[in-house]
Structure 1
Amino acid sequence: MSLVAAEGIGRVIERVDDEPLTILTDVSLRVEPGERVSIVGRSGSGKSTLLNLLGMLDLPTSGRLEIAGEDVLSMSSRRRDRLRGANIGFVFQQFNLLDGRTASENVQMPLVYAGGSSYWRREAMADDMLDRVGLSHRRRSLPQSLSGGEQQRVAIARALVRRPRLILADEPTGALDVDTGISIMDLLDEIVAEEQSASITITHDPAIAALSERHYRLASGSLDEAVFA
């Protein structure tokens, strides 16, 4: 069963005083467990919109979308929320860290709602993931005391701590130096291999895109296969 099965999805925004704005047209993508996919596109090409649709933060206005074998458009918003929480880890361009919470507490947040042993082991699990992104020494630091690159790594640890089946990463290396960026992509690959999950990385950097197994380019709202070496 595919983790992602998108067929002909589009996203059009209706505007009161202007023509409708077409962001995506007829996008098809299938992603299987264990696959690493990258999508490259310029600013304004619709990359973030596509990621939001695949993460069920927004809905397509046309086409068909299945996540983990379930039809997204036919389910209730509550069911989408549950499916998202159980299966998807997001790495956003904006770090979205909680002020007043330590790095460890920020990483623990997805586990607060997990229930079972994950809830009771949340601190240990968070600290282990912080160690894997090289920030064990900053576990008690507040976001405002962290550099941009450190905040990005905390956000990545938070996205991975529940070992999601699908990792959606929007410019995950944008605030990092080259070496750290490559190490973070290696970590994403490790999690995918360990859990037989899948990752979709949105990036403007062909060098980062080349680290994935399958590559696509998004331009003028359409998605096409590409080669990055």
Structure 2
Amino acid sequence: MTLLHLEGVTRTVRLIDAPPLTILSGVDLDVAVGDRVSIVGRSGSGKSTLLNLLGLLDNPTTGVMLFDDRPVQSFSSGHRDRVRGRDVGFIFQQFNLLQGRTALENVMTPLLYAEGRAFWQRSRIAAEMLDRVGLGHRLTALPDKLSGGEQQRVAIARALVRSPRLILADEPTGALDLETGAAVMTLLDEVATDSGAALVTITHDPNIAATATRHLRLDGGGLRPVHDPVRDRAHDPALDAVRGTAPATIPDAMLA
């Protein structure tokens, strides 16, 4: 089932005393339920702009963008906010934690807009999520008393607390050491698997990018596949035939 569909999507912004600036010039992308996608690109290539589109923060200038088979341009402002709050979890590179609020209160924030059990048990649910990211002992700590890595883990817990259908992660391990970063990516994958969520990660770390099933590069305003020679050889049907492990039929993904 396709969760997100982008076809020929562009994004142009108007500038004062200058011609309009085209940031995305024809993005094609399908994100299925449970998908794992990594996106890399140089600074200024439009990764943040694309993330804002995927997260329903902005509308495309032209092109087709569907969320659950519905054109996002048709969403009212209120409906867009409800879908984003319920179905999309953001992990921002800048953390965007609420100052003056404890780690627990920060993670509880998305649950203030939930219904039923999730609303009434928001404190317990938030505490359990903080425990999952290794911060069960820091529930009452304020952001300025947390290290950069701890703030990142609070931001991750906040993004995951409502079990979103789409997780958008902008350099989710950027402030973490190697071991903690690997643990966080494992957690992201576990939570995404438990809820059937799609996970789209923007990263400069090739090790993080390699954990995705699809690895894309944003360049020249569009997306293109990044081929991993080692992984390609490991799944080369011709080599499988030599090894005697060739599948009965070649999956469509190999023919794309």
Conserved? CA contact 1:35–1:192, under 8 Å: no
The one of the two structures with greater contact order (alpha-carbon pairs below 8 A, sep at least 6) is 1
> CA offset at residue 219 of structure 1?
1.2
Match of 2:74 in 1: 74
1:15 aligns with 2:15: yes
Letter in 2 for 1:78: G
**Aligned 1:41-80 pairs, distance under 5 A:** 41-80=41-80
- The alpha carbon displacement at 1:42 in A equals 1.1
Distance in 2, Cα, partners of 1:143 & 1:16: 37
Instruction: Give, in whole Å, the separation in 2 of the partners of 1:195 and 1:98.
Output: 26
SS in 2 for 1:218: strand
- Shift of residue 29, structure 1, vs aligned partner: 0.6
Q: Give the Å deviation of 1:69.
A: 2.3
Partner of 2:123: 123
Structure-2 separation of matches of 1:63 and 1:38: 22
Mapped partners of 2:183, 2:210: distance in 1? 14
Match of 2:234?
Answer: none
Q: Are residues 1:160 and 2:160 paired?
A: yes
Paired letter, 1:80: R
Q: Which residue does the alignment assign to 1:200?
A: 200
The separation in 2 between residues aligned to 1:125 and 1:61, in whole angstroms, is: 38
Deviations 1:55-80 (A, max 9, x none): 11111101111112221012211111
Question: How far, CA to CA, are the matches of 1:194 and 1:214 in structure 2?
Answer: 20
Alignment deviations for residues 70-95 of structure 1 (CA, whole Å, 9 cap, x no partner): 21012211111111111100001111
**Contact 1:59/1:73 (CA < 8 Å) preserved in 2?**
yes
Equivalent-residue separation in structure 2 for 1:197 and 1:155 (angstroms): 18
Matches within 5 A, 1:162-201: 162-201=162-201
Instruction: Name the counterpart of 2:96.
Output: 96
Separation in 2 of the partners of 1:141 and 1:68? 38
Q: How does 1:120-159 map to 2 (within 5 A)?
A: 120-159=120-159
Task: Say if 2:210 is the partner of 1:210.
Answer: yes
- Does the residue aligned with 2:167 lie in a helix, a strand or coil? strand
CA deviation after TM superposition for structure 1 residue 227, in Å: 2.6
Which structure 1 residue ranges, 4+ long, deviate > 6 Å from structure 2? none
Structure 1 residues 120-165: Cα deviation after superposition (integer angstroms, max 9, x where no partner): 1111111111111111111111100000010000000000000000
Which entry has the higher C-alpha Rg, 1 or 2?
A: 2
Structure 2: tracts of 5 or more residues without a match: 231-256
Other structure's SS at 1:158 match: helix
Q: Alpha carbon RMSD of aligned pairs, Å?
A: 1.0
